[in-house]
């Protein structure tokens, strides 16, 4: 399984418009972050987790042109703002793209992108994105046909007072925007080869230490940090503070999960 980090920034991305913060002015490419999303290749299937407002540029920059399904963690704009840009993929595949998420999230997408649902015909239109909505449940697992069966487990995560999704695929898990991970979810994260997780947003002065404690509890073989704020600091400086098996992800990073 191959994972590409399409974006690793928070809701504003880095640099922030009009900001003179030193991180926003950095010339290091690893300090320039689009909104968070990952691209997963497994067998002959390609999955997207979250579809950020930067989706078009992310796909062009990585030379990707296929998506078989999109999984949404939650309904905030930085995670669904690119859904209308899947139109050329619809046309190329001659297929409607399935979008998976919680019922609340799907209802939000239907309201905010209401014009995508005007057409009831299954015929692919060239002037509008075509998606179908599929509800996920915290307590179920979902399988997808490929060269081998792919099983995806939705994970219950707290984003402030909002319940959102993380996802586990085999020995890989992706969590973003988490402020707290419930005990029952922590149990489902045991035995990971690779964990991707945001810097858990408690208080900024102890956010990194809190996240490292969570990582130590889950005990994956390696961890990549994402959804990075400019307030956390420069990429290279953060990396020097981390244990040997914890890394700061950056846009365009590709990793292999064996």
pLDDT along the chain (258 residues), means of 10: 97 97 98 98 93 97 95 97 92 90 96 73 67 91 76 95 96 96 95 94 68 94 96 94 96 96
pLDDT at 29: 98
pLDDT at 208: 87
pLDDT at 201: 58
Tokens for 95, please give them. Answer: 């297929």
Domain 2-15+25-256 falls in which CATH fold?
Answer: Metallo-beta-lactamase; Chain A (3.60.15)
Which residues make Cβ contacts (< 8 Å) with residue 155, sequence separation at least 6? Answer: 138, 165, 166, 167, 168, 173, 175, 185, 188, 189
What is the distance between the alpha carbons of residues 181 and 23, in angstroms, rounded to a whole number? 29
pLDDT at 147: 60
Backbone angles phi, psi at 133, to 5 degrees: -105, 135
pLDDT at 18: 97
pLDDT at 118: 59
What is the distance between the alpha carbons of residues 189 and 173, in angstroms, rounded to a whole number? 7
Neighbours of 92 (CB within 10 A): 11
What is the distance between the alpha carbons of residues 254 and 62, in angstroms, rounded to a whole number? 10
pLDDT at 247: 98
**This prediction's pTM:** 0.93
């Amino acid at each position: 399984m191959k994972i590409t980090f399409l974006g690793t920034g928070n809701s504003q991305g880095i640099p922030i418009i009009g900001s003179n913060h030193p991180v926003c002015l950095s010339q290091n490419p690893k300090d320039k972050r689009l909104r968070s999303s990952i691209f997963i290749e497994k067998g002959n299937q390609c999955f997207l987790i979250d579809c950020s407002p930067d989706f078009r540029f992310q796909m062009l920059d990585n030379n990707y042109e296929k998506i078989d399904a999109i999984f949404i963690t939650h309904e905030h704009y930085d995670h669904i703002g690119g859904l209308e840009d899947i139109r050329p993929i619809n046309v190329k595949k001659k297929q409607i793209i399935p979008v998976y998420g919680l019922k609340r999230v799907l209802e939000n997408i239907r309201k905010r992108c209401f014009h995508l649902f005007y057409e009831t015909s299954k015929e692919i239109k060239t002037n509008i994105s075509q998606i179908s909505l599929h509800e996920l449940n915290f307590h179920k697992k979902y399988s997808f046909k490929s060269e081998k069966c792919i099983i995806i487990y939705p994970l219950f995560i707290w984003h402030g007072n909002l319940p959102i999704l993380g996802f586990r695929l085999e020995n890989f898990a992706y969590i973003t925007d988490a402020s707290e991970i419930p005990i029952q979810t922590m149990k489902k994260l045991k035995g990971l080869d690779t964990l991707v997780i945001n810097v858990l947003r408690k208080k900024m002065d102890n956010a990194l230490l809190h996240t490292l404690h969570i990582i130590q509890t889950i005990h994956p073989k390696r961890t990549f940090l994402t959804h990075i704020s400019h307030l956390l600091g420069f990429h290279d400086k953060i990396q020097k503070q981390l244990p040997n098996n914890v890394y700061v992800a950056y846009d365009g990073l590709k990793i292999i999960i064996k």
